[in-house]
Amino acid sequence: MLRWPDVLKYAKYSNPEPPRRVEQSEAAWKAQLTPAQFEVMRLKGTEPPYRNAYCRSYEPGVYACVGCGSLLFNSTEKYHAISGWPSFTQPITKNAIKYVFDNSHRMQRLEALCNVCDCHLGHVFPDGPEPSGLRYCMNSLSLVQTKEVALGGKFQPSDGSGNQL
């Protein structure tokens, strides 16, 4: 289980190795994503609170990156944080998320990126519920939810492809 010191260490020294890499030009991202998704995922924007797809959704399944399809979060780690954005206590795997210090907007935050394609997902804060104490505050525009089959607390993608959709 990841805790705040773990994610700080990743951001400061070295993020975990991703299972694969997806890289493409900004023009290709612009063609693939909607304008709102591009603003959030490539330009590090933030969608409006409460008026987003997954803020109040608690359907079972997994959440994947809109950019590359990599699995990011299990719905069993989602909770109501009253922040206006979907919030999770843990990523689906330790190497799903890349952590980067973000000092924009006169704030000190820890940015969460997809570790496979570097798309901006949101931020991580140390004010979540125990036992992790983490709050992954994500933009719905960066996520797509899929219905998957739970196997002993882990999710097995229905197409059998491992850690991707």
Set 55, 68, 117, 137: catalytic member? 137
Active-site residue, 137 included: yes
The CA distance from 122 to 21, in Å, is 19
The CA distance from 6 to 8, in Å, is 5
In the block, tokens 């804060």 appear at 125
Interior angle at CA 19, CA 116 and CA 139, nearest 5: 35
Terminal CA-to-CA distance of the chain, rounded, Å?
23
**Residues marked as catalytic:** 137
